[in-house]
Amino acid sequence: MAPRYPNEAQSKGAIHMNQNMDIEKKSVEHKYDKGLVASTFIRYAAYIIIFFGFLYFMVRYVFPKF
């Protein structure tokens, strides 16, 4: 069977074959949108305020009726 790659016949394994290959590093920078972070914070802060408001209502008005 003929080798698929030129270095395959000479190599002792995959490690030797990978040493001959050039490695290209790529740096990816993600944009950081402060407006998106602020709107997400406001949304979850509103969820927490509504949740604690509901708990306050339950403790203050509903539970004393029992």
Query: Which of 3-7, 11-15, 26-30, 53-57 holds the top average pLDDT?
Result: 53-57
List pLDDT tens digits, range 16-49: 555 566 778 888 877 778 899 999 999 999 999 9
pLDDT exceeds cutoff 90 at 60: yes
Examine the pLDDT at 57 and tell me if it is beyond 80: yes
Please, what sign has the CA dihedral across residues 45, 50, 53, 54? negative
Residue 5, CA distances (Å) to 1, 44, 53, 62 in order: 12, 55, 68, 77
pLDDT of residue 31: 74
**Backbone phi, then psi, for 20, in 5-degree steps?**
-85, -10
pLDDT over 70 at 14, yes or no = no
CA distances from 61 to 47, 50, 66 (A): 21, 16, 10
Question: What residue ranges do the domains of the chain occupy?
Answer: 33-66
